[in-house]
Every structure is written in structure tokens, then in C-alpha cells.
Amino acid sequence: ETVFLISLGVGACKLVGELVAAALVETVGRRSTLVGSNLLVSVLVFSIGLKFLWDWPTAIGATSLCLVMLFFSLGPGPLTFVVVNEIVPLHLRAKLVALSVFFNRLGSGTIALTFLSLKEAVGTFASFSLYAVLGLLVTLLYATVPDMRGRSLEDADAAADAADGHGHAHGHGHGHSDGHGGCEGVSECPDRSLLSLPGSGPPAEPSDAPVDGTDGARG
């Protein structure tokens, strides 16, 4: 029953954190939310290690765990993917988002697979202390993230393209039209005919050729 209640509390804290993050992301800002929440996560992870060092009651450890999930869901959980989508150029976004998800899952899996071995090697308190130090280092990294609060996704795209050396003159597709319907500077030019709707093109110019195949003379 105790394990069930702790699991229920952790899930509730994660839900509350996500809801609060949705409300704060445009008022407090991405960078401030990430820095503040990740700093608190690091402190709370260290407190969980102290629980094992000083044999604190289980309730303190459970409360710290719930708060860790609350603040993680407030910042690093959802906002990591939001920030990546906003600060990278459009023509690199798919690859970089995929890489961020890959390394996110790789880090989570590495911690899960190595925790027991690390605990046996250096102890529980030292393990959580190491995680807390890593969290503080990540917090310093979050402090350098550009804050796109109050800016539209189009503005974020323009800023990312400008930082990458690609202005609007080349469009968001990293290329421009050559004036004949073609594309320059792109490895893959989309087939424009697939994007047009029937009847959406310019009206055809009248032809001088007779419709019925005759020379047009009428007796």
C-alpha cells in the first residue's frame, strides 16, 4: 500500500508539473524555468542521497522524490524539446530534434543500467551526489539557452536562420527560386506540381491555333 501511494503521488506531481509548465513557459520564460527547475531538481536529488546517509524517515525520501518529479516535469522534461525546436534552423530541425531525443533516451537508459553497479562501487549517497553535480553542470548549460518567450515560431525560425547564416532571402527551405520554377542551393527540390490544386494556376493564354484543326478560314 505504501509503494502504491508513493507511485500515485509521483504520478500526480508529474501531472501538476506539466500543467504549471504550460502556464509559466510564456510568462517566466524558457531559460528561467529551465534553470530554476533544474537547480531545484539537483538540490532534491542530493537530499535523497542524504536520506540514505543519515537514515531519514521514508516519508522524507518519498517527498523529495515527488518534488524531483514535480520540478523535472516543470522544466527539463517538456521544455527540452520545445527549446530545441525553437533555436535550431528549420533545415536542420528534423535531424537535431532526432539527435536530442536519441541522447535523451541514451542518458536515461545509461543511468538505469549503471545505477546498481555505481551504488555497489561508491555507495548510495555518493551516487546521488554525482547525479546532483551533473545536474548543476546541466543547469549552467541551460543558462546559456536563448529565450524565445513572446516570439512566434516564425520569428524563432528567422533568428535561427540568421545565426546559421541563412537569411529570408533564401527562404526557410534553404534555397530560392531561380525564376523558372526551379530551386538553387537545395539538395532536394520539391515537385511543385504535387503542391498545386486543380484550377489554382494562372489562366492559360489564348492560342491562335484553330480548335477544329482547320486553317480557320470560313468560306
The more confidently predicted of residues 2 and 72 is 72
Domain range summary for the chain, segments of one domain joined by +: 2-146+154-163
Give the pLDDT mean for 3-8: 84
Helix (H) or strand (E) holding 176: strand 176-177
DSSP per residue, 97-109: HHHHHHHHHHHHH
At residue 188, what is the residue type? Answer: E
Give the pLDDT mean for 188-193: 42
CATH 2.40.50.140 fits 2-146+154-163, yes or no: no
Give the pLDDT mean for 212-218: 46
Q: Above 70 in pLDDT, residue 91?
A: yes
For the chain, how long is the longest CA-to-CA vector? 113
Q: Above 60 in pLDDT, residue 197?
A: no
What is the percent of the chain with per-residue pLDDT over 90, rounded to a whole number?
A: 31
DSSP β-ladder status, 183-184 and 176-177: antiparallel
Are 23 and 73 contacting, i.e. CB atoms less than 8 angstroms apart?
no
Helix (H) or strand (E) holding 184: strand 183-184
Check residue 219 and give its pLDDT: 42
pTM score: 0.66
DSSP per residue, 119-134: HHHH-HHHHHHHHHHH
Are 26 and 78 contacting, i.e. CB atoms less than 8 angstroms apart?
no
Question: d(Cα 215, Cα 40) in Å, to the nearest integer?
Answer: 87
Give the pLDDT mean for 99-116: 92
Residue labelled with grid coordinates 527560386: 177
Closest CA to 90 of 140, 27, 159, 3: 159
The band of 171, judged by pLDDT with boundaries at 50, 70 and 90, is very low
Q: Above 50 in pLDDT, residue 180?
A: no
The band of 165, judged by pLDDT with boundaries at 50, 70 and 90, is low
**Residue 176 — φ and ψ, nearest 5°?**
-150, 165
